[in-house]
Structure 1
Amino acid sequence: MGHKKKTSLKVTLQSQQTRLKNKEKAAHAAEAAELKTKHKGKGKAPALRPTIPFTPTDKILLIGEGNFSFAHALVIDPPSSLEHLPPSNITATSYDSEEECYDKYPDARSKVDVLRERGVEVFFGVDGTRLEKIHALKGKRFNRVVFNFPHAGKGITDQDRNILSNQMLILGFLRSVVGCLAEGSIPTPNLPRKRNRPADDDDDDDVNDDAADDYMDASSPSATQGARGTVLITLRNVPPYTNWDVPRLAKTPPKPTSLGTLPNPNYKLLRSFVFHRNTWKGYEHRMTKGERAHGRGTTGEGGEDRTWEFCLKD
């Protein structure tokens, strides 16, 4: 019976992968046509400021911090708009135990020491798919929950199985994080309208995620006061990561394959934007497999880093 359930979910996810690959082919053709059109134009587009998805009053939960360099950048040398963000508003977590973390990422120890001295809460052994089991997080609600470059880290060489493994990770995280999100109204990002889509149109097949990039003023909050918390997932916007189809998993997750299993929550995609690593001074992306030159790897080079921001749908 268990094998049948797993097979059913696998078939559903693989069907989504096929649809995504076809969609990507069409997108690449459209992108090539757009670039050709742009080259015919004159002049250069004005420089766009990077999007900062936090405000100084946010309570922020960081999942899967690796060597804690993002948390360190957020506290020690943040963008000017976050200079007054209290370190006590930040909770940074690692999947590894403290000993495993320092063994995998030797530079993490000094960063954690600084974070703790400043008042940041740091927790180890936190599984992002079982946040409801973490006693230290019980009763706490956050305005932003951030999972930068999630990866199951299982070292699976078969691409389809690797994609499935990471999709399961994303689904588990999106299910588990619900209890950590602040409650409130749906945030209203100040995004430009694209292709005359109505405000309530949430059809993923017509969403051009890239088009929303950086039109947002860097200082614009992604949510007004009293809004519900948001989830931010950052990945390389190139294969194999695009094959995980994160927006689709969040918005229309596969249905449960067994009776008594609660369905995954449905999320609303608020926006996506380029994640500029140099905005976060000292930030270094580290691979889940720390033995790869202390977590330094080359998977997914080229392209861009992109953040997708979601909130729970009504």
Structure 2
Amino acid sequence: MGKTGKASKGSLKSALQAQQSRLEKKQKALQAAQVAEQKYAKKKDNGKSSANSTYASPRTTQQTMPFRPTDKVLLVGEGNFSFTLALVRLYQNEAAGGSGCTSRSVFMPPANITATAYDSDEGCYAKYPGAKEIVDEVRKSGVQVFFNVDATRLDKANPLKGKRFDKVIWNFPHAGKGITDQDRNILSNQLLVLAFLRSVVGVLAKGPIPTIFKPKKKRKTEDEDEDEDGDIDRKNDQGNEDESLPFSLPYTESEHREKTRGSVLITLRNVAPYTLWDVPKLAKKPPASATASTAPNPKYIQLRSFAFIRDAWPQYEHRMTKGERAHGTGTTGEGGEDRTWEFCLRDLRDS
């Protein structure tokens, strides 16, 4: 039994490392192509007067609204609960008729939100200054807050027993083990994501695959792309196309009330080394289990991915897994963008 488990663990590590090697080669090729393109563009523009030069106007990006107002939402891995607070404040602002509101409801009421943290309450408050005040406020608004909830063992979390959610969100997951070797660090975080995707199955709502609507007569932009392997039907949207509003609404009014299969949303920096985790592939084509006793990972469908715009979420503050750093000078993941990937189970038999 022990030998079988050891061999299986080795095959998982080999599969993840082979996948990582392919990604690194792909990224290097992409970077080389970008450099060549930039050199060509510079050469082409050389000698032209500034009067004849044209500049692309800056693209105004709206935050894709990942929720429906009727959704039951589970947040895992909350640090100081500032994203929870952002959702509460957005709902309160809308209810009060604040700026950015539309004629239709956009945000879910706080009572629809369950927010969890891996730490104990004492550990959370010690690690993240101001967290206690945030937790007090969101609880008062109606949010359910639970501590000591491991996102990789949601099936063992007593506060979640018997509950199903329309959306389960983990923003910026990280194992936080402080591993300096990049390959081992990537492997540790891939195993974290795989465990989460395995454990979340039991709390996802059951139903038909959700249809993600896209704005009518609008071409796909860099901000929202669909799964290259996916076969999800896309429909036109009769919803919000007012670019003065901070959120774009991918759901029609009628779909707000439709019960669909629960989805998982994972947000990461869209730059190395996080891109080397290859979260979409871990979800859609997971490697074999590490041991014979570990259940195989279910397969997911990627519904969409979109930019996560931090400024669109008032009060949101990204916090490191290890908490505040008194003299932190880390530069990992600088540049690029934040991106959210949304998945749902391919086969309901896995749930």
TM-score bracket, shorter-length normalisation: 0.7 to 0.9
Q: Does 1:115 align with 2:138?
A: yes
Counterpart position of 2:150: 127
Counterpart position of 2:334: 301
Identical-pair percentage: 59
SS for the counterpart of 2:79 is coil
Q: Does 1:268 align with 2:305?
A: no
Q: Does 1:18 align with 2:18?
A: no
Match of 1:219 among 249, 252, 266: 249
Q: Does 1:102 align with 2:90?
A: no
Match of 2:85 among 58, 68, 72: 72
What is the deviation of 1:292?
A: 1.9
Counterpart position of 2:323: 290
Contact 1:287 1:297 in 2 (8 A): no
What is the deviation of 1:67?
A: 0.3
When normalised by structure 2's length, the TM-score is: 0.77
The amino acid across from 2:248 in the alignment is: A
* Alpha-carbon distance between aligned partners in 1 of 2:138 and 2:57, rounded to the nearest angstrom: 41
What is the deviation of 1:295?
A: 8.7
Match of 1:233 among 240, 249, 266: 266
CA, structure 1 residues 108+268, in 2 after alignment: closer, same or farther (shift >3 Å)?
same
SS for the counterpart of 1:289 is coil
* Alpha-carbon distance between aligned partners in 2 of 1:32 and 1:203, rounded to the nearest angstrom: 31
CA, structure 1 residues 99+17, in 2 after alignment: closer, same or farther (shift >3 Å)?
same
Counterpart position of 1:202: 229
SS for the counterpart of 1:77 is helix
* Alpha-carbon distance between aligned partners in 2 of 1:296 and 1:284, rounded to the nearest angstrom: 17
CA, structure 1 residues 43+100, in 2 after alignment: closer, same or farther (shift >3 Å)?
closer
* Alpha-carbon distance between aligned partners in 2 of 1:202 and 1:113, rounded to the nearest angstrom: 43
Contact 1:104 1:295 in 2 (8 A): no
Cα-to-partner distance string for 1:4-51 (whole Å, 9 max, x where unaligned): 332221111100100111222233345556777799876426523221
* Alpha-carbon distance between aligned partners in 2 of 1:295 and 1:104, rounded to the nearest angstrom: 14
Q: Does 1:171 align with 2:171?
A: no
Contact 1:275 1:305 in 2 (8 A): yes
What is the deviation of 1:73?
A: 0.6
How big is the alpha-carbon RMSD for the aligned residues of Structure 1 and Structure 2? 3.0
Match of 2:164 among 107, 122, 141: 141
Bigger Cα Rg: 2
Q: Does 1:59 align with 2:72?
A: yes
* Alpha-carbon distance between aligned partners in 2 of 1:201 and 1:103, rounded to the nearest angstrom: 43
* Alpha-carbon distance between aligned partners in 2 of 1:259 and 1:18, rounded to the nearest angstrom: 26
The amino acid across from 1:137 in the alignment is: L
CA, structure 1 residues 271+29, in 2 after alignment: closer, same or farther (shift >3 Å)?
farther
SS for the counterpart of 2:335 is coil
CA, structure 1 residues 41+185, in 2 after alignment: closer, same or farther (shift >3 Å)?
farther
Counterpart position of 2:63: 50
Counterpart position of 1:87: 110
SS for the counterpart of 2:264 is strand
Counterpart position of 1:211: none
Contact 1:286 1:297 in 2 (8 A): no
SS for the counterpart of 2:23 is helix
SS for the counterpart of 1:308 is strand
> How many pairs align?
300
Worse-matched range after superposition: 58-67 or 299-308: 299-308
The amino acid across from 1:59 in the alignment is: K
CA, structure 1 residues 173+203, in 2 after alignment: closer, same or farther (shift >3 Å)?
same
The amino acid across from 2:77 in the alignment is: G
Counterpart position of 1:190: 213
What is the deviation of 1:200?
A: 9.3
CA, structure 1 residues 200+153, in 2 after alignment: closer, same or farther (shift >3 Å)?
closer
Q: Does 1:244 align with 2:274?
A: no
Counterpart position of 1:181: 204
Contact 2:227 2:304 in 1 (8 A): no
* Alpha-carbon distance between aligned partners in 1 of 2:70 and 2:197, rounded to the nearest angstrom: 24
Counterpart position of 2:236: none
* Alpha-carbon distance between aligned partners in 1 of 2:141 and 2:262, rounded to the nearest angstrom: 24
